[in-house]
Amino acid sequence: MKPAQARVLITGASGGIGRAMVAALQQAGAQVLGVSRTPQRDAPDLRWVQADLGTAEGIQRVVRAAGSWGANIVIHAAGLPGFGALSQLTPAQMQSVLTANLLAPMQLTQALLPQLLRQPQAQLVFVGSALGRIGLPGFSLYTASKAGLHGFAEALRRELADTTVQVQLLAPRSTRTAFNDPAAEAYNRATGTACDSPERVARDLLQLIESEASERYIGWPERLGVRLNGAFPPLLDGSFKKHRRQLKAATPTTEGVTS
């Protein structure tokens, strides 16, 4: 779809990647409706919906706004980080990350689908991650959430293949935003992890929307890694020794987390 035809609903619009996506979409001529958990000031060319997508009330608020506004593209960009050794993760953290990154997009998509199916053309874009296809030490929780999202998008794409709704996946690698806490930033530096600017991710989003391709992975060698990991996962197991060493060096020794 051309941006000039797009009325885009984007979740996580107040975050680092989300703000860059909003700016790029508007510059390309799209109309944008942002979704945020915190209050945002309406601008002349941007409307906001304040909603917690982890609640049924929040989802319904977004559905009502999207319906009255006539959204024909939905971008699921909201999410939470989940860096850390498994022994350091709390049950509450696991619950919140899986809800934000996987369950909320699934439930919001289900609620929005009837109105999207009434559009002559519509697109659902899920912002996943290279880690949804390549599991790294220290990202077991985040990888689980994004792998689930990737699987959901793939299955839904095939389920809706004979409808007017197209399902797409954008998979960035690490991005320079406040999404990464200091521990994750230190880990990325120590392991030589490449990071992109949010503006780079936003440009790739525009290209994905206009191309109407099914998937777009950002960065090299991540694209190669995704293919190799998909075909021969055990072959990559030995590639992450420095990641394991860095994670162990940064992780206090504990018997596990119970609270």
Q: Is the pLDDT of residue 230 over 50?
A: yes
- Based on the residue annotation, tell me whether 142 is a catalytic residue of this protein: yes
pLDDT tens, position by position, 85-115 = 999 999 999 999 999 999 999 999 999 999 9
For 8-24, what is each residue's pLDDT tens digit? Answer: 999 999 999 999 999 99
Report strand pairing: 165-171 vs 46-50.
unpaired
Alpha-carbon distance values, 251 to 82, 187, 242 (Å)? 14, 11, 14
Average pLDDT over residues 183-192: 84
Record the tokens describing residue 90, joined without a space.
């709390």
Rounded CA-CA distance 3/125 in Å is 14
Structural contact between residues 72 and 19, judged by C-beta atoms closer than 8 angstroms: no
Residue 135 confidence class, pLDDT cut points 50, 70, 90: confident
Q: Give the number of other Cβ atoms within 10 Å of residue 135's Cβ.
A: 19
Catalytic residue among 83, 126, 139, 142: 142
Indicate the pLDDT class of residue 195, thresholds 50, 70 and 90. confident
CA distances from 117 to 113, 138, 253, 257, 259 (A): 6, 39, 52, 45, 43
Q: Which domains does the chain carry?
A: 3-250 (3.40.50.720)
Assess whether pLDDT exceeds 70 at residue 168: yes
pLDDT at 55 over 60: yes
